[in-house]
Amino acid sequence: MKTIYHLFLVVACLAAMAATSCSKNTTENSDDGGNVTPNYPSKPEEPNNRETRKISKVTSENDGYYRSYTLDYDDKGRVTTIYCDYMYGWEEYDLNYTDDELCIFCNRDEGSYYNYFTLNNRGYITWYSFSDEVGYYTSETRTIEYNMQGYLNKYECIIHEYHDEGEEVEYCYGVTYKWSNGNIKSYEYNETDNGVSDYSERWDMTYNGKKLNVVNLDINALVAYYNYHTFMEGGIYSAIGLTGKSNKNLISKSVGESSDGDGYEIRYQWSYDEDGYPIAKGYTYDIAEGYTYDEIRCTFDFEYVD
């Protein structure tokens, strides 16, 4: 059961929601091939007449594990600095944008490094790579594809390990997404080891159709499982609007099943202030293998720019 062990690491990490707009009469139904058809909701959504608020800080706590993110923005509303404070140290990310490239400099108590990303004409990441020395040399290349409407469609990561004895090992994992009504409806995750299929998962998401995104960050992605399979740092690149359009509604449930026969169910709960903006959330999760957790396992608190 490879994936569930990583869940608590994932939910402690930030990911973000760029503001989306909603038609009063219809919503777009876009599949992973970019086809769009009108969808008439049976129940009206809440009116999207509130000003989109900008989050300045996110604090999460998961079974005693603490992490907070403080964000700075430029005059275009882009995140330029992310300062992360957690129980084992700190990290600070500085982001520098050009028309077709993004450079992120990470400074932390263990050292520093740079990452460079290729951007498309919408400012979304399409390619990046990096390498590391961990007893042997390893390199990773990641490619990201979007559909015609700018939604995340496919992600692929290829990892090469080069060992001292001359052995070369290749791992590959990929994720494909399907969208409906402006939200990720489902995704499929697959791993291969030297070209042989090794592991897979499928997840289906349910959303609160009456709750629209009214903040600038994709707060769904703080806990939505698809980010673990896609990006290091638990989805930090999605968090700052660099991986396509965001989900339109707030997630309420995720149900997953793996090729090992394991099943998962995650339920999400949201809290709001008197103006209808999220102030905190928690989630519970069930493992369909006989283990059930009914108490809240993780909480997030949000602070806003005045």
- Spell out the SS3 assignment of 57-110: EEEEEECCEEEEEEEEECCCCCEEEEEEEECCEEEEEEEEECCCEEEEEEEECC
Query: Is 83 within a domain?
Result: no
Cα 81 to Cα 69: distance, rounded to the nearest angstrom: 10
From the list 109, 123, 114, 15, the residue with the least C-alpha distance to 69 is: 15
Residue 125 is predicted with a pLDDT of 92
Highest mean pLDDT among 235-249, 254-268, 280-294: 254-268
Predicted structure pTM score: 0.75
Please count the other Cβ atoms lying within 10 Å of the Cβ belonging to residue 31: 17
Query: Is 43 within a domain?
Result: yes
Residue 9 is predicted with a pLDDT of 31
- Give SS3 for 220: helix
Please count the other Cβ atoms lying within 10 Å of the Cβ belonging to residue 121: 7
CB 290 within 8 A of CB 245: no
- Of 23 and 268, the structure prediction assigns the larger pLDDT to 268
Residue 3 is predicted with a pLDDT of 38
Residue 143 is predicted with a pLDDT of 92
Query: Is 252 within a domain?
Result: yes
Number of domains composing the chain: 1
Q: pLDDT digit string (tens) for 203-221?
A: 999 998 888 888 888 878 7
| Share of the chain residues as helix, strand and coil, in percent rounded to the nearest 5 | 10, 55, 35
Confidence of residue 124 (pLDDT cuts 50, 70, 90): very high
From the list 278, 252, 217, 279, the residue with the least C-alpha distance to 73 is: 217
Query: Is 107 within a domain?
Result: no
- Of 288 and 127, the structure prediction assigns the larger pLDDT to 127
Residue 183 has pLDDT above 80, yes or no: yes
Query: Is 11 within a domain?
Result: yes
Cα 103 to Cα 106: distance, rounded to the nearest angstrom: 10
Q: Residue 158 contacts by C-beta under 8 Å, 6 or more apart in sequence?
A: 140, 141, 142, 170, 171, 172
Query: Is 220 within a domain?
Result: yes
Confidence of residue 136 (pLDDT cuts 50, 70, 90): low
Residue 244 has pLDDT above 70, yes or no: yes
Please count the other Cβ atoms lying within 10 Å of the Cβ belonging to residue 285: 24
For residues 288-296, give the mean pLDDT: 63
Residue 75 is predicted with a pLDDT of 94
The secondary structure element, H or E, covering residue 237 is helix 236-239
CB 138 within 8 A of CB 159: yes
Cβ-in-10-Å burial (0-12, 13-18, 19+) of 254 comes to buried
Cα 31 to Cα 180: distance, rounded to the nearest angstrom: 6
What share of the chain has pLDDT > 90, as a percent?
A: 28
CATH number of the domain within which 33 lies: 2.40.160
From the list 217, 197, 196, 212, the residue with the least C-alpha distance to 302 is: 217
Cα 175 to Cα 85: distance, rounded to the nearest angstrom: 30
Query: Is 282 within a domain?
Result: yes
Confidence of residue 235 (pLDDT cuts 50, 70, 90): low
Cα 218 to Cα 283: distance, rounded to the nearest angstrom: 16
Residue 100 has pLDDT above 90, yes or no: yes
Q: pLDDT digit string (tens) for 143-177?
A: 999 999 999 999 898 988 887 777 778 889 899 99
Query: Is 89 within a domain?
Result: no
Residue 20 is predicted with a pLDDT of 36
Token reading at 84 = 């992360």
- Of 77 and 20, the structure prediction assigns the larger pLDDT to 77
Kindly state the DSSP code that residue 45 receives in the 8-state scheme: P
Which domain does 157 fall in, by range?
4-66+127-304
Residue 12 is predicted with a pLDDT of 33
Residue 29 has pLDDT above 50, yes or no: no
